[in-house]
Structure formats: structure tokens, C-alpha cells
Amino acid sequence: MIHSNKCQYHLQAKFASKFAAFLSYATITSLTSINAAIAETVKPSASSQIFNAKGELVGTATFSQSASGVKVTLQVQKLSQGEHMVHLHENGKCEAPDFKSAGAHFDPKRSPMDNSHDHGLNHMHNKHHHHIHDKHEEMKHGADQHKPAGDLPNIMVKQDGTGTLTANMSKLTLGMGPNSLLKQGGTAIIIHAGANGKSTIPNVDYKTRIACGVVKSQ
């Protein structure tokens, strides 16, 4: 009887051990599947709080990854009525009052020569650089002109100072690589005083950068 009980005990222990191993494997497999599903459904996102030269919050922007690029939703307030240019710029720096620290338009496919101009490294052609940059700000982006990847459509601001813009940037990403809005050094979103040669603010050039926000990962 004692021998029979020992055999039964060993069989039960062996079964329990195998069941525990199976349960552990099943749990790990299930967790792995869940994590994989989460990874597929959770897409990178980013946001930006946009401030004017006085440090007042005048807008927010959200960025979400989609199959066709980066979707941008911009909401503004306390801005002058009319049409404003909006661009993504190459540096994640917003130093008031002129926000020049944000650099030039974000355009990852720009040539090295263009890049040297944007950073002011070619001192012999500094005046030429400013002329080119001003012309670039004035572009209406016709079919025969290059449109930087980070340029958004103009936003229309209503009489109450508010406006909304939704657009898709097909050449950019929130993932890895040089065309990412979250690249090393970051990027910034800039709002200008006007568009198409017309300023919304008296005695202020329409190209003037009036608000800036750093794009940050969420």
C-alpha cells in the first residue's frame, strides 16, 4: 500500500510539473501575442505647444503617424485675422522674439549646398543666402517649384483669432531616420505673420515669424 501511494504521489507530481510548464509556456505565448498586437496598433505621436514672442500660448499642434505619412492637426487662438503661412523648421529651438533659432524649413532631401546656406556656414555668400531665403518664404509652391517636405498649407484665422488646420505630410515620419520630426536636434512648427505677400499685422512683414513650438514625442 505504501509503495502504491508513493507511485501515485510521483505520478501526481510529474503531472503537476508538466502542467505548470505548459501553463508557463501558454502564458508567455499569450503575452508575446498581446505585446505584438499592441505594437501594431500603438503608433508614434507627437505634439507641440506654440507660443508667441511674449510667451503667450497661441496654439497647439498634434502629430500622428499614418500609413500615408504624418497627420497634423493645428488649432490656434489669439492670432490676427487672415491667412498665415505655417511651416515645420529644422531645429527644435524656439528662442524669442524672432524664432530664428528654429532654422530653415525642414526639408530632409535638401542638397548639402542648400544646407550650408541655411546654417550660414558659407560666409562669402551670406547676402545671397538671405536673398534666397526670402524668396523661399515667398514661394506659392507652383507645380514647377520644389516644396519642402515640412511645409503645411496656410491657415485661415477667423475674426475671433481662432483657426484650425488639418493636413498630411506624406514625406515625413515620426519614426526613425533623417525625415523624422523627432530626429536628433528636433524640429519646430512656425507660424508667420501673413501669406502670399500680405501681412495680417500692420507694419510687420508677412514673412515674420510670430509664433513657434517645439515638436515633442508623446
Q: What is the pLDDT of residues 89-145, one digit of tens each?
A: 999 999 999 999 999 999 997 644 444 334 333 333 333 333 444 444 444 444 446
Question: Would the pLDDT of 7 be above 80?
Answer: no
- Can you give the pTM of this predicted structure? 0.69
pLDDT (0 to 100) of residue 118: 40
Read off the pLDDT of each residue in 142-159 and give the average, rounded to a whole number.
85
Question: Would the pLDDT of 205 be above 80?
Answer: yes
CA distance 203 to 117: 28
pLDDT (0 to 100) of residue 12: 59
pLDDT (0 to 100) of residue 119: 36
Q: Which residue has the higher pLDDT, 129 or 33?
A: 33
CA distance 205 to 45: 34
Among 24-28, 52-56, 160-164, 203-207, the range scoring the smallest mean pLDDT is 24-28
pLDDT (0 to 100) of residue 28: 55
CA distance 161 to 169: 25
CA distance 8 to 1: 11
- CA-based nearest residue to 155, from 112, 196, 201: 196
CA distance 172 to 71: 10
Read off the pLDDT of each residue in 185-197 and give the average, rounded to a whole number.
98
Question: CA 151: distance to chain centroid?
Answer: 12
202-213: b (≥16 Cβ within 10 Å) or e: eeeebbbbbbbb
Read off the pLDDT of each residue in 65-70 and give the average, rounded to a whole number.
94
DSSP conformation class of 104 = S
- CA-based nearest residue to 84, from 46, 5, 121, 137: 137
Question: Would the pLDDT of 186 be above 70?
Answer: yes
pLDDT (0 to 100) of residue 136: 46
Percent of all residues in the chain with a pLDDT value above 70, rounded to a whole number: 64
pLDDT (0 to 100) of residue 146: 77
